[in-house]
Amino acid sequence: MRKQDYNMNILIIGATSGIGHTLWKHYDSMGHCVIVIGRRKELLDNMGKESENTHPILCDISNITTFDMAWENIIHQYGRIDLAIVCAGIGELNLKLDVETELSTLSVNVIGWTNAVASIYGLFERQNFGHIVTITSIGGMQPTPIAPSYSASKSFQINYTKSLQHKSKGTNIVVTEIRPGLVDTRMAKGEGLFWVMPLEKVCHRIVKAIDNKQKRLIVTRRWRILNFLLKHLA
């Protein structure tokens, strides 16, 4: 992967496992200062012990007060953020439409997510630069009866990211949407099990898209085809 010629301050929200964790390993190995957020303390502590470039912050983004306090501390301590990757998300199969499950999905994927993304965008406006990356899902392209709140929340994220892309036109702010199909993480268990892609391969593509400041990446090619069909034929 290409080496950056300067050290960035990178924030990864949802870095204790899966896509965020693999991206953390990549950016940490390049010597960048990486601030990582998640709810699992032990995993965060281990990441902090593994590397002096890594700065773990225990935070549940669905708790607005907790996130806002963590966010203020981040700004105070690090001054600027160059790249922010918002990976945090949950998704459960919910055939029975259990209301608690539906609401907890929305509280992370919509309420907490929006609070985090809007806070980051606001900082980038004040800095007059910055690159924000959202991880949405092909699942947001169609209604999914086995996981209604997940697909609806991802649809929300896709549209929200598009709005920010419009808003950022003519500024120094870059907004990238990563829209994966199924990826081999713990989340995939909640989404079905066909066409599951290797995590390393997906993250390699994501890093390339971030390096190139791409507007959107649908990973991988077969999911791009499905995304096209859903968009035009569904």
Ligand X SMILES: NC(=O)c1ccc[n+]([C@@H]2O[C@H](COP(=O)([O-])OP(=O)(O)OC[C@H]3O[C@@H](n4cnc5c(N)ncnc54)[C@H](OP(=O)(O)O)[C@@H]3O)[C@@H](O)[C@H]2O)c1
List the alpha helices (DSSP H) in 30-132.
Answer: 41-50, 64-78, 99-106, 113-127
**Minimum CB separation from ligand X for residue 98, in Å?**
18
- Residue 198: which residues within 8 A CB-CB, separation 6 or more? 183, 184
AA identity, residue 156: F
Q: What is the distance between the terminal CA atoms of the chain, rounded to a whole angstrom?
A: 37
Specify the residue, 127 or 196, whose C-beta has the smaller distance to ligand X. 196
Taking the mean position of all CA atoms in its chain, how far away is CA 113? 9
Q: Which residues between 30 and 49 bind ligand X (CB under 6 A)?
A: 37-40
CB contact at 8 A, 190 and 207: no
Number of residues located near ligand X, criterion CB under 6 A:
31
Residue nearest ligand X by beta-carbon distance:
18
CB contact at 8 A, 11 and 37: yes
CB contact at 8 A, 85 and 21: no
User: Which of 33, 183, 210, 217 contacts ligand X by CB under 6 A?
Assistant: 183
Q: Which residues between 184 and 223 bind ligand X (CB under 6 A)?
A: 185-188, 191
User: Which of 27, 34, 85, 91 contacts ligand X by CB under 6 A?
Assistant: 91
Element (H or E) spanning 3, and its range?
none
C-alpha to C-alpha distance for 233 and 214, rounded to whole angstroms: 26
User: Which of 180, 203, 210, 223 contacts ligand X by CB under 6 A?
Assistant: 180
Running DSSP on this structure, what letter comes out for residue 109? I
Query: Where are the extended beta strands (E) located within the chain?
Result: 9-13, 33-38, 54-58, 83-86, 130-135, 173-180, 216-219
CB contact at 8 A, 67 and 54: no
Residue 57 binds ligand X (CB under 6 A): no
User: Which of 10, 11, 19, 81 contacts ligand X by CB under 6 A?
Assistant: 19
Residue 56 binds ligand X (CB under 6 A): no
In the stretch 115-144, what mask flags binding to ligand X with x, by CB under 6 A?
--------------------x-x-------
**Minimum CB separation from ligand X for residue 167, in Å?**
21
**Minimum CB separation from ligand X for residue 131, in Å?**
18
Specify the residue, 130 or 139, whose C-beta has the smaller distance to ligand X. 139
Specify the residue, 20 or 130, whose C-beta has the smaller distance to ligand X. 20
**Minimum CB separation from ligand X for residue 44, in Å?**
7
Q: Where do contacts with ligand X occur on this chain (CB under 6 A)?
A: 14-20, 37-40, 60-62, 87-91, 108, 112, 135, 137, 180, 182-183, 185-188, 191
